Structure 1
Amino acid sequence: MKIEMARMGVFLVFLLAAAWQDFGTKQVSTELLWLSGTAALVCQSLSVLCLAFMKEAGAEEAVLPFFLNTWGPYLAGVLPGATLLVLSRLGCGIGVGDGVFFLVSGLLLGLRHNLLFLCGTVLCCGLFGLGYYVWSRMRGNYKGGKTELPLLPFGVIPGIWTAVLYVTEFRAFGA
């Protein structure tokens, strides 16, 4: 349980630092992404080691199924980030930093929680963008629809919610 709390602590620190940078400069530093990615891999490796010791070095399960069961959801968690990177390369208005951010968050959260986090972030950003557009149109500013918004600051509230959900699910199911 302590490793899962540490994992969520790493995720929240990473999220807040990336959101702050994205809000201020509309980009996330490469150093922060590398540091957070390394921390995510360390957290997952420690989780696997803890599970291996709890299972008495794989006495019940062969090595490959054990590896796939412990790493699988987190490796699948990088799929939303990979999709965002592809969309970024296609010129869809998504930043590379956003894609790499969701790659790293997928290593920390797993597929299901990362998708939930991404959907919440896009929803918050979209609702704010719609409100800003309507507000600017009411004030006579017809260029409000051309404003680019940084994505990650809108992920703070869904990120905190996802982290709490992750920890409470982990505690409830005793996984």
Structure 2
Amino acid sequence: MKLQKKTLSIITHGISVLVFCYLFYLLTIGGFGSDPIKELEHFTGKVAINYIFIIILIPIISKVIHWPNLFTQLKALGLYCFTWATLHLSIYIILDLGFDLALFFNELTARLYLAIGGICWLILLLMALTSSKKAQCILGKYWGYLHKLIYIATILTSIHYIMAVKSGKTEAYIYLTIALSVCTYKVISEYKLKERSQT
């Protein structure tokens, strides 16, 4: 079992490092086209979205294939997700807006999709700050409630994506469909579990 966990950790970190290496490779060869800042924002945002979807799908996949060790990777995946989301936000603030914080807050109030993205980032921040065992012990049962916000963040992230892209929205709608399906499944599963515990 320990070997399986170690192998999973190697795979998780190995793939995550490769994604960072791919980003660096694209930067060195000028692979972000004629509008590199926008493309860079899109790339980092897309990676963050993929991480968040992997996180919410792990409980389902783990149940289907009977591999509970997958749960051991949630913390690492969550931190990678937060890292990419922060990189996405930083590129927008620093490169796109020239680190003009006044303009940034004006944009947040003027553009709904940016406000939604900001809420998603705050949720990921809270989860990253409380990802340790110590935080879990301090928060007790509230830790579980807090980390269920990942499902809300997934839906909001999908909406942010739909509103942000000007064309090719099909993929964004697929993300939203998956998010709503997983969240519905989660609600139904927890309701059934609660019913069984009361009988």
Instruction: Name the one with the larger helix percent.
Output: 2
Scaled by the length of structure 1, what TM-score is found? 0.43
Scaled by the length of structure 2, what TM-score is found? 0.39
